């Protein structure tokens, strides 16, 4: 492998890893704080991609469409938590699995009713199109670098929010002791609604960001869901820091495996997960 090819793969891997982090962070946040295993998380990634396609067709502005999609996702998150998820806090994980699988069915059906089953595509916004030349023959698209930077920015904002703000303090408190937070007179239900909605929005934003890079197809949510679970479990359930490290690890392993050992490439991240869980049964950064 030449140096330039190695470099391109390295950037590809990091960029894929960062995108994975964006989705996985919502999943791990919701699990860590609320103890809810949300299998419909991948569906929100799909919904984000379809929403941005729909609004882009009507408004013609990618930025505006992205904003509208994020807001809609936030509202959908609030609605989901208020009507359904809320009933399940005192039930076991298996009931949550069943409920969220039911939601996957509903989201998939709505997608096929509203937008059909044909693959769709969104054009890269003109201001972000083009590519940066790396060597004489290789160049790297600007949009992908933009997405990577956006993911880093969001990760930074999340880190700041959780560690430095009042909301973040409540989230950390709710994570370690729900009853105590309630006793201190804080409305934990409102907190849960906010956390769930933010988690859902993160998945949808990832879907929006991914839309111009890949085709928008039915079933894209389930595929990404499994990969995100791999990330979350390698990192340690509920740990955002773990999700960050694991996402980069999975991104790099997956990218390099498809170049270096193509015959094992689809298996590689599962081999990685099994290997890590056998050494550290609670993931890398278990709380």
Q: How far apart are CA 76 and CA 218, in angstroms?
A: 19
| Residue of 101, 131, 149, 260 interacting with another protein (CB under 8 A) | 101
Coil vs helix vs strand at 140? strand
In the bound state with another protein, the residue whose beta carbon lies nearer, of 26 and 212, is 26
For the CB of residue 227, give the shortest distance to another protein in the complex, in Å: 10
Return the DSSP state at 164. H
User: Segment 244-273, which members bind another protein (CB under 8 A)?
Assistant: 263, 266-267, 270-271, 273
99 is an interface residue for another protein by CB under 8 A: yes
Stretch that binds another protein, among 61-69, 96-104, 143-151, 193-201 (CB under 8 A): 96-104
Question: Count of CB atoms within 10 A of residue 86's CB?
Answer: 15
> 223-242 mask for another protein (x: CB under 8 A)?
---x--xx--x---x-----
238 phi-psi bin (left φ>0, alpha ψ -120 to 50, beta other):
left
For the CB of residue 20, give the shortest distance to another protein in the complex, in Å: 15
For the CB of residue 108, give the shortest distance to another protein in the complex, in Å: 5
| Residue of 23, 37, 240, 245 interacting with another protein (CB under 8 A) | 37
| Residue of 1, 57, 71, 93 interacting with another protein (CB under 8 A) | 93
Question: Count of CB atoms within 10 A of residue 179's CB?
Answer: 8
Stretch that binds another protein, among 21-29, 110-118, 137-145, 179-187 (CB under 8 A): 110-118
Residue (of 26, 36, 30, 66) closest to 48 by Cα position: 66
Structure-derived torsion over alpha carbons of residues 11, 14, 19, 24, reported in degrees to the nearest 10 = 170
109 is an interface residue for another protein by CB under 8 A: yes
90 is an interface residue for another protein by CB under 8 A: no
Q: For the chain, percent helix, then strand, then coil, each to nearest 5?
A: 75, 5, 20
For the CB of residue 103, give the shortest distance to another protein in the complex, in Å: 7
For the CB of residue 167, give the shortest distance to another protein in the complex, in Å: 26
Phi, psi of 215 (to 5 degrees): -80, 150
Q: How far apart are CA 287 and CA 282, in angstroms?
A: 9
Given a contact cutoff of 8 angstroms between Cβ atoms, the answer to whether 27 and 256 are in contact is no
Neighbouring residues of 182: CB distance < 8 A, sequence distance ≥ 6: 188
Residue 22 parent element (H or E): helix 3-34
For the CB of residue 76, give the shortest distance to another protein in the complex, in Å: 15
Residues lying near another protein in the complex (CB under 8 A) are found at: 37, 84, 87-88, 91, 93-95, 97-99, 101-110, 112-113, 222, 226, 229-230, 233, 237, 263, 266-267, 270-271, 273-274, 277-278, 281-283
């Amino acid at each position: 492998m030449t140096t330039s090819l190695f470099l391109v793969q390295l950037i590809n891997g990091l960029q894929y890893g960062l995108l994975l982090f964006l989705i996985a962070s919502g999943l791990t946040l919701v699990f860590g704080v609320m103890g809810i295993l949300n299998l419909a998380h991948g569906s929100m990634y799909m919904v984000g991609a379809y929403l941005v396609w729909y609004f882009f067709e009507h408004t013609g502005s990618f930025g505006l469409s992205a904003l509208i999609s994020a807001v809609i996702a936030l509202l959908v998150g609030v609605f989901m938590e208020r009507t359904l998820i809320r009933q399940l806090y005192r039930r076991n994980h298996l009931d949550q699995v069943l409920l969220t699988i039911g939601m996957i069915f509903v989201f998939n059906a709505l997608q096929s009713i509203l937008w059909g089953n044909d693959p769709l595509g969104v054009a890269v916004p003109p201001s972000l199109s083009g590519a940066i030349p790396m060597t004489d023959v290789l160049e790297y698209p600007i949009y992908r670098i933009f997405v990577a930077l956006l993911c880093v920015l969001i990760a930074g904002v999340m880190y700041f929010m959780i560690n430095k703000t009042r909301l973040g303090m409540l989230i950390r408190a709710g994570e370690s002791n729900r009853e105590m937070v309630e006793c201190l007179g804080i409305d934990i239900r409102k907190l849960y609604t906010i956390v769930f909605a933010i988690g859902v929005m993160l998945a949808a934003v990832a879907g929006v960001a991914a839309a111009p890079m890949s085709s928008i197809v039915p079933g894209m949510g389930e595929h990404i869901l499994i990969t995100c679970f791999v990330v979350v479990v390698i990192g340690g359930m509920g740990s955002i820091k773990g999700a960050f490290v694991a996402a980069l690890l999975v991104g790099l392993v997956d990218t390099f495996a498809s170049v270096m050992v193509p015959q094992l490439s689809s298996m590689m991240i599962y081999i990685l997960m099994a290997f890590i869980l056998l050494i550290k049964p609670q993931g890398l950064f278990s709380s």
